[in-house]
Chains A and B, each alone.
Chain A
């Protein structure tokens, strides 16, 4: 599968623990996006990168969240001191930019117990 890849697919963690998710975009795509989707809602934008630069962050992204894309290829999303409200599907998408189509990964489902 040469599409957007996310790892892990599922993560169960105890409240207060830190978690990190990885996203591997389609190789020639310079833009990478993170979204969060809770039950019964559409995806909500969290942040995006153009190459290694993080260009926009949503107010949803509290201080406990951090995202990186160190070499402009894969990206990581870390949540520190997880809370039950962080339970959601975390989606990654990538595109060539310039108005081109965004391709989504299958998501990482986080459950905080």
Chain B
């Protein structure tokens, strides 16, 4: 079964603290992994994707195929990082490229001053 699991509904940290949002996936092939973010009253938008290997807004994510994880990390959280974060998987990436995404349930990140 294709599944994305984000075990934490809410993660609350103080400004300046490190952040790690967990994401585990279940998929037998070679997926592409994404992190999407939704700020208050804004639309869902792409934060970063595995294939780009980029750091966006200080966030990075490493794909660990052995542990089937794609955790999102930031060394020093900022108040403006407060948002809902969704991990997503695109199955069979590279062969069919449907663009269809399977999302996790989301984690609310709350950064306190």
Q: Which residues of A come within 8 Å of B, CB atoms? A: 3-4, 31, 33, 35, 40-45, 48, 55-56, 91, 95, 97-107
Contacts and interface: CB of A to CB of B under 8 A. Distances in A.
A33 B102 CA distance: 12
Given A55-B98, A100-B99, A107-B43, 16 more contacts: A3-B43, A31-B99, A33-B101, A35-B101, A40-B9, A42-B88, A42-B105, A42-B106, A43-B101, A45-B100, A45-B101, A48-B98, A95-B99, A97-B97, A103-B45, A104-B43
Interface string B5-40: 010010000000000000000000000100000000
Q: Give the bracket for the number of chain B residues in contact with chain A.
A: 20 to 34
A75 B72 CA distance: 34
B86 A99 contact: no
B24 to A, nearest CB: 14
Contact of B44 (A40, A41, A43): A43
Nearest to B45: A104
B100 A41 contact: no
B87 to A, nearest CB: 8
A98 B97 CA distance: 6
Closest 7 CB pairs of A and B: A42-B103, A104-B44, A106-B43, A43-B103, A104-B43, A42-B86, A101-B46
A97 B101 CA distance: 13
Contacts of B106: 41-42
Nearest to B52: A101
B103 to A, nearest CB: 3
B59 interface: no
25 contacts: A3-B43, A33-B99, A35-B103, A40-B9, A40-B105, A41-B105, A41-B106, A42-B6, A42-B106, A43-B44, A44-B103, A45-B100, A45-B101, A55-B98, A95-B99, A97-B97, A97-B99, A99-B51, A99-B93, A99-B94, A99-B99, A102-B99, A102-B101, A104-B44, A106-B43
A107 B98 CA distance: 21
